[in-house]
């Protein structure tokens, strides 16, 4: 994780001499997330993200935006497939996965007010909390790699954004099980300083 943060800092520092603009600031929003796999309830559940961003414009239309976010993914799981579709909820278990997410986005700005974003995101799992399942810590891999695509609107100093992240790696640590891949819709607001 330290290497990824240092890499982001190096990229920002090396580009500062050639920039057309630089801003940074805090951001906060909601995660609407799910994981593909038979053991999880289909659909999406709500979590949150909070952190900061730096925007480095290399020209009037192109820039990069590294971020560091604390991001929560909430899941509903069950011990058997039939439990997921039953009407009684006692067999279902809520799990919170907390990640430090590090997106590195390419910003394409066709106008002052709209920016299209695309790029990779590295997620480092910090903890796994469940009130019922004690073996949750052994089920998930410690990292996730995703691709992000989205749009950001700039209104005064505010940035209102929506983006979709799709996991490319299997985060299932259990042997001989289905592949689990993350999917997250992020909606939020940031303040550029």
Query: Rounded mean pLDDT of 154-175?
Result: 83
Position 176 pLDDT exceeds 80:
no
Which DSSP string corresponds to 140-182?
B-SEEEEEEEEEEEEETTEEEEEEEEEE-S--B-STT----EE
Whole-number pLDDT of residue 64: 95
Quick one: tokens of 103?
């997106």
Position 39 pLDDT exceeds 60:
no
Query: Rounded mean pLDDT of 99-122?
Result: 94
Nearest to 120 by CA among 130, 109, 106: 106
Residue 59 DSSP class: S
For residue 24, list its beta bridge partners.
54
- The more confident residue out of 193 and 37 is 193
Lowest mean pLDDT among 20-29, 35-44, 84-93, 97-106: 84-93
Whole-number pLDDT of residue 87: 46
d(CA 32, CA 73): 8
For residue 57, list its beta bridge partners.
21, 63
CATH class label, 2-12+20-191: mainly beta
pLDDT level of residue 80 (50, 70, 90 thresholds): very low
Lowest mean pLDDT among 110-114, 123-127, 133-137, 142-146: 133-137
């Amino acid at each position: 994780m330290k290497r990824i943060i240092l890499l982001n800092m190096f990229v920002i520092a090396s580009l500062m001499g050639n920039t057309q603009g630089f801003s940074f600031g805090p951001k906060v929003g909601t995660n609407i997330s799910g994981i593909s796999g038979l053991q999880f309830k289909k659909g999406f559940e709500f979590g949150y993200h909070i952190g900061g961003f730096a925007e480095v414009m290399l020209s009037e239309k192109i820039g990069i935006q590294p971020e560091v976010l604390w991001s929560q993914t909430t899941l509903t799981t069950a011990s058997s497939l039939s439990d997921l579709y039953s009407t009684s909820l006692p067999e279902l278990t809520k799990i919170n996965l907390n990640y430090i997410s590090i997106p590195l986005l390419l910003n394409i700005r066709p106008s002052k007010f709209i920016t299209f974003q695309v790029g990779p995101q590295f997620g480092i799992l910090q903890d796994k909390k469940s009130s019922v399942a004690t073996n949750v810590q052994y089920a998930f891999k410690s990292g996730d790699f995703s691709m992000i695509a989205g749009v950001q609107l700039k209104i005064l100093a505010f940035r209102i954004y929506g983006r979709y992240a799709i996991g490319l790696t299997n985060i299932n640590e259990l042997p001989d099980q289905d592949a689990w891949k993350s999917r997250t819709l992020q909606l939020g607001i940031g303040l550029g300083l």
